[in-house]
Amino acid sequence: MEIRIGIVNAPRELSFESSQSAEELAEQVQTALSSGTGFLRLTDDKGRLYIVPTAGIGYVELGTEESRRIGFVG
């Protein structure tokens, strides 16, 4: 699952791959935004931890779960 997080006042977005499903990720994002902790914690498919302050999140985009095709598409 590809995840893109837009950060307020930052020219680039945070983008990485995760092995979690879209439902799990959406639930984590909603919980972080509604709770008073102030941080969103996500782990990528290589085990790296990303901690993003919720006040700085502009948007969260969750990609598709299908694998990428290699080669020419006709």
Q: Provide the edge-to-edge strand list for the sheet that holds 14-17.
A: 14-17, 2-7, 57-62
* 7-24 tens-digit pLDDT: 999 999 999 999 999 999
pLDDT in tens, 62-72: 987 555 666 67
Residue 51 CA to residue 24 CA, distance in Å, equals 17
Asked whether the predicted pLDDT for residue 5 surpasses 70, the reply is: yes
What phi, psi does 8 have (nearest 5°)? -60, 135
